Amino acid sequence: MSLNVRTYQCSRAVFVLGACLLIATAFSAQAQSRYPITPEQRSTAEKVASAGVPLSELAPNAPDSYTIVKGDTLWGISSLFLKSPWRWPELWGMNKNEIKNPHLIYPGQVLYLERIGDRARLRMGAAPGPSSEAVKLTPCMSQAVGSGDDAIKVKPCVRGESLAAKPIPPIPNNVIEPFLSQPLIVEAHALDTAPRVMATQEGRVYVGTGDTAYVRGIQDQDATDYYVYRPAKPLKHPDTQKILAYEAAYLGIARQVQPGDPATFKIVNGKEEIGVGDQLVKVERPNLTDFIPHAPDEDLTARVLSIYGGVAQAGTYEVVAISAGREQGLEIGHVLALYRTGEKVKDHTDRDRLVKLPNEQYGYLFIFRTFEKVAYGLVMNVHLPVVVGDTVQKP
């Protein structure tokens, strides 16, 4: 075969492979754009890709393989393999060769844990079977360039991610979604001019689901559904008593059934009792951001300000407010460690001198909503109840 023919064959093979790469890029571009990776996460992933993590970092019963199923979460899968589920870059960075963007984990895919020496790596397998709703494989293209024994067969296979399939969420969306619009952090007098309940059905002190309320101050006559809030109360730092923000407690949803001044509203979802003086804000669809668990870049220490619902203690999947926000560098997806402040006790071996016991870590807090000076977090994996005044720190 002449040199020109071989050159033609190689050129055509390169062309076909290049086209396949373009197709693969097009499949993944849209999905990747929804899950941005921070520079720190990418850097960490690249560092551990070749080394893995020490075996000591694995969870005691970490399985050799696991098939992702609908209902799984990134946090849950991380907890399955790692002692510290917030170490997201180390876990998903290990399989970056299999997944262009390690945020995209789909039902049906299989995780394989490789233990080599004193290190471990996580590898990703394809979804089993052609009927998987998570991943689709495009047919392989086979083309012979040339003829006879000297023919070059090009058979690239392009893996495409189904745009209809949904990747598993970092934490349960059904737990977080109600809190994306409530409670509400406002400036000191931001709701002073908001529509307000001025009277209730039959002059009752409080009304609930199915009852009628009369509202003044409605400006948008086309809007029908409104959130109802109790007037804002200050959130104070437990040490300094400085006011960090004002929190308006969510009471429910009211629907305008007859415009006017006052307008007639029906309470369609009363979470708590609603009375005269409570305020209304138009319902807006919550922004269901994809939360990615990771530790803050900088050291951070804050305190638990309040527990949502006004209760004394919080457990797993309950919401608390803390004394740090965007000004302190907090962002959605940050994971903080929860600590119980050590008590001061008398040392009877040293003339009853008071000694402070060490702080005890007892769980994690997943930040899902941030404001300037405060943030809301979802309590995760605790073995003690959260109380106001507990400390949160970078894990």
Domain assignment present for 130: no
Domain assignment present for 290: no
pLDDT, residue 279, reads 92
Residues 309 and 385 in one domain: yes
Q: How far apart are CA 255 and CA 215, in angstroms?
A: 11
Q: For residue 55, what are the domain limits?
A: 3-125
Tell me how many domains the chain contains.
3
Residues 259 and 310 in one domain: no
Residues 259 and 316 in one domain: no
Within 8 A by CB and 6+ apart from 53, the residues are: 82, 87, 90, 91, 94, 119, 120, 121
Domain assignment present for 266: yes
Domain assignment present for 161: no
Dump pLDDT digits (tens) for 2-24: 545 454 554 554 444 444 444 44
Residues 305 and 275 in one domain: no
74-83, 98-107, 375-384: which range is least confident on average?
Answer: 98-107
Dump pLDDT digits (tens) for 183-221: 678 777 777 889 999 999 998 999 999 999 999 999 887
The pLDDT of residue 31 is above 50: no
The model's confidence at residue 92, banded by pLDDT at 50, 70 and 90, is low
Q: How far apart are CA 197 and CA 267, in angstroms?
A: 11
Residues 266 and 334 in one domain: no
Dump pLDDT digits (tens) for 96-122: 343 334 457 889 989 888 888 888 887
Average pLDDT over residues 362-377: 92
The model's confidence at residue 311, banded by pLDDT at 50, 70 and 90, is confident
Please give the helix or strand (H or E) that residue 21 lies within, else none: helix 3-33
Dump pLDDT digits (tens) for 134-179: 334 344 444 454 555 554 444 444 444 444 467 888 888 777 777 7
Q: Which residues of 143-164 are buried (b: 16+ CB within 10 A; e: fewer)?
A: eebbeeeeeeebebebeebeee
Domain assignment present for 349: yes
